[in-house]
Amino acid sequence: MDTTNATTSTAEQILALACELVQTRGYNAFSYRDLAGQIGIKSASIHHHFPTKADLGKAMLRRYRENFADALEAIDRSRKSPSGRLSAYFDLFRQTARSDRGVCLGGMLAADMLTLAPEVQAELRAFFADSEEWLKGVLEAGAASGDFSLNGSPKDVALAIVSALEGAMMVARAHADPARFDRATRCLLDSLTKS
Amino acid sequence: MDTTNATTSTAEQILALACELVQTRGYNAFSYRDLAGQIGIKSASIHHHFPTKADLGKAMLRRYRENFADALEAIDRSRKSPSGRLSAYFDLFRQTARSDRGVCLGGMLAADMLTLAPEVQAELRAFFADSEEWLKGVLEAGAASGDFSLNGSPKDVALAIVSALEGAMMVARAHADPARFDRATRCLLDSLTKS
DNA sequence: GTCTATAAGATGATAGAC
DNA sequence: GTCTATCATCTTATAGAC
């Protein structure tokens, strides 16, 4: 019956910490030594789990995408109306914006895009594609039901929403003011739900 | 009469190149050696002009803010209607989004925010404040004239616009697809100018 | 202003013992 | 899986000659 690890595996510990460091400092501002020091092992041990930094980056994004997909499924289960689902999606980002000064892993890696290995770049594009596809479905349903008035195709509005949320996190953090995320995204949400 | 330099000063050359490198790679992914190598001098000479990387970062942002302020003044002179001015502001970002894969210096440094020296952080906040203030004026005029219908206070909508434009550049570049910037920002512009 | 030389430390990564 | 030891290279920065 004991299928859950009482202690998190080292690999998972590394991934969680690496994500946090990327979200706060960026891909090129953390090292294997940073990870090792905070976890309490040596950097050679990190290389055992993730031979290169590209391997680590790819694994980080895979994990982040999975967690994000789980969150979207949870929304689909708990919220049935398009506006409820859209609002819950915004809250996903809101939580990150309010958590200690980090921004979305996707937005952060988008900034570092041109320094990433091709495999990591591909994984990042897939992350955005995941969100855009889910949003497109919600927007189509909301447009059909009359809940939303869209200023463009569902596909384009989905892209606009993802872009705006990523940007809002960045700018809000630059001011060390999470309230700015709320102010910026409230305008966007209102423009979609207003008749 | 010859007040213009036929050859650009070394300091200006350094600043221009440093800006380009930050916009494409990020603050923590370029070095004094990169600058030196591409300009054709030694890294010690870069330190002569900008003793520390924080000095360089601060000077970069000052220069960027000045250029940006000039661009806003040019818009004020050439465009008289609020909608014309807003559209020209969007085009400022559009040009950067289309130029070879770089994004706004402000957006890039916002990602690197937590690794920057306090003085550079302050300069970055001022950059965003400049834009928000100018936009606020344009939005107020447009709301008064009936050109715009705002989903929030001019201050909040200004923040939403800056955030959305920064995010749109990031996401568009992640896909190596400048058209995504246009698709995302078109939705935003339409939502503001639609009655 | 630019150079050579150098410092002190960090970086991603590997080899091989336990 | 983790360790010690090591590597070649890069990083920001300084001292002092030309």
Phi, psi of A99 (to 5 degrees): -70, 155
Residue B112 makes CB contacts below 8 A (sequence gap 6+) with A25, A26, A29, A111, B26, B27, B28
Q: Which residues in A lie closer than 8 A to residue B105 (C-beta atoms)?
A: none
A39 exposure class (CB count in 10 Å sphere: 0-12, 13-18, 19+): middle
Q: Which residues in A lie closer than 8 A to residue B124 (C-beta atoms)?
A: 174
Rounded to whole angstroms, the Cα distance separating B42 from B54 reads 19
Rounded to whole angstroms, the Cα distance separating A117 from A120 reads 5
Residues constituting chain B: 195
Rounded to whole angstroms, the Cα distance separating B99 from B19 reads 13
Nearest to A170 among B101, B107, B121 (CB): B107
Distance between A193 CA and the closest CA of chain B, angstroms? 10
Distance between A13 CA and the closest CA of chain B, angstroms? 23
Nearest to B114 among A24, A107, A109 (CB): A24
**Torsion from C-alpha of B87, B89, B90, B92, nearest 10 degrees:** 130
Quickly tell me which residue has 């940007």 as its tokens.
Answer: A167
Work out whether the CA dihedral B41, B43, B44, B47 comes out positive or negative: positive
Spanning CA of A15 to C1' of D7, the rounded length in angstroms is 26
Quickly tell me which residue has 């957006």 as its tokens.
Answer: B107
Nearest to B28 among A28, A121, A183 (CB): A28
Whether B106 and B127 have beta carbons less than 8 Å apart is answered as yes
Rounded to whole angstroms, the Cα distance separating A88 from A72 reads 9
pLDDT digits (tens, 9 = 90+) for A38-78: 999 999 999 999 999 999 999 999 999 999 999 999 999 99
pLDDT digits (tens, 9 = 90+) for A94-131: 999 998 878 999 999 999 999 999 999 999 999 999 99
Q: Quote the tokens at residue B116.
A: 């920057």
Q: Please give residues of chain B from 10 to 39 whose alpha-adjacent beta carbon (CB) lies under 7 Å from any atom of strand C.
A: 10-11, 36
Rounded to whole angstroms, the Cα distance separating B162 from A114 reads 23
For chain A positions 102-121, those within 8 Å of chain B (CB to CB) are 103, 106-115, 121
Residue in B closest to A185 by C-alpha: B160
Name the nt closest to A13 by C-alpha to C1'. D1
Over its length of 195 residues, how does chain B's per-residue pLDDT go in tens digits? 444 555 799 999 999 999 999 999 999 999 999 999 999 999 999 999 999 999 999 999 999 999 999 999 999 999 999 999 999 999 999 999 998 878 999 999 999 999 999 999 999 999 999 999 999 999 999 999 999 999 999 999 999 999 999 999 999 999 999 999 999 999 999 999 976
Confidence (pTM): 0.97
